Homo-oligomer: A and B are copies of this chain.
């Protein structure tokens, strides 16, 4: 393939993050394909046009179906609210296009399963935006684990906490709607579950507890009327992994003081590693026999970092994780990818989240 036309749907936080990544990736990495920013779609046509101009897309659409039908578009990137992932991805797959979809893949695991099957049938490359996995330090962590440097894995303790819903007057949004995969577990926890699977492998059993602390919220910012909330503000679960390790995960969007606290520790018979997304350029590593934890700073010895900077300690930002994600996606489209989080893997993440919800609802262990 010489050239790949990108069609991006959505112009919010994630839409812009995708646009930045697509704009940067060719200047950061030597790519096996030339990218064209073909089209941008937003239901608000004026916004679509404005953003297309600012972000360098050749064409703007107010109807995402037109974008998918555009023959110049070879890759469809989906950054809309969760409940739209399903129809958009299914249409793109039906059109035989590669799909890059934000997480969570879908609002039910049944939808996710159908998307996975459609992707398999279509035989195209798919990827889901679990961008934290593309951090060079996380790739290093996976290599260390894969090489046995932690020994036999024993435990995983993880948490993804933020506080953007901690104020009881934070209003209802679609993230509070269970029909749209709302709640702390779906919104934040799915990143953590994906990370757990990425580093530890499959989970075979879960027990869990979910909790709606603020049971109603203003219908919108500042409004006096309040609306009942059915989704979890926080969730806790115990996990058993197929490799025999045990662990726990927590997810909260009401934990004061935390802004992007995707943190975990993995321990094995030969060592421990610890990570916190709030310091995404650091990994703490302990090897049996050493006097203490080492703090590793990201640097050019790690996979992917050197393309951004030849100097260690200069730090990558959140948006650059997206650039790394896009690079891996493009390599995969050109047949050179390593194993990324495709629709199958994202479906497995949704299955795991569904099992946690079931375990919480029925207050019992659930096996997968």
Cβ 8 A contact of A294, one of B152, B269, B291: B291
A291 to B311 CA separation, bound complex (whole angstroms): 14
- Does A28 sit at the interface, judged by CB under 8 A? yes
Q: Is the CB of A286 within 8 A of B27?
A: no
Nearest CB of B to A9, in Å = 16
**Chain A residues touching B, majority SS:** mixed
Q: Is the CB of A238 within 8 A of B317?
A: no
- Does A278 sit at the interface, judged by CB under 8 A? yes
Please give me the residue from chain B that is nearest to A240 by CB atom. Answer: B209
Candidate in A13, A233, A238, A250 with the most chain B CB atoms within 10 angstroms = A238
Q: Name the segment of A41-49, A163-171, A189-197, A345-353 touching the other chain.
A: A163-171
Nearest CB of B to A91, in Å = 26
A285 to B257 CA separation, bound complex (whole angstroms): 8
Candidate in A292, A309, A319 with the most chain B CB atoms within 10 angstroms = A292
Nearest CB of B to A359, in Å = 9
Cβ 8 A contact of A238, one of B30, B208, B260: B208
Q: Is the CB of B234 within 8 A of A155?
A: yes
Cβ 8 A contact of A259, one of B237, B271, B313: B313
Please give me the residue from chain B that is nearest to A210 by CB atom. Answer: B246
* Interfacial residues of chain A within 45-69, with CB under 8 A of chain B in the complex: 54-56
- Does A173 sit at the interface, judged by CB under 8 A? no
Cβ 8 A contact of A269, one of B164, B166, B207, B236: B166
Residues from chain B with Cβ under 8 Å of A23 in the complex: 23-24, 27
- For this complex, 18 residue pairs linking A to B, each with C-beta atoms less than 8 Å apart, are A24-B24, A26-B56, A157-B236, A162-B311, A211-B246, A234-B246, A236-B248, A255-B272, A256-B286, A258-B272, A259-B297, A260-B311, A285-B291, A315-B315, A315-B317, A316-B317, A320-B320, A364-B364
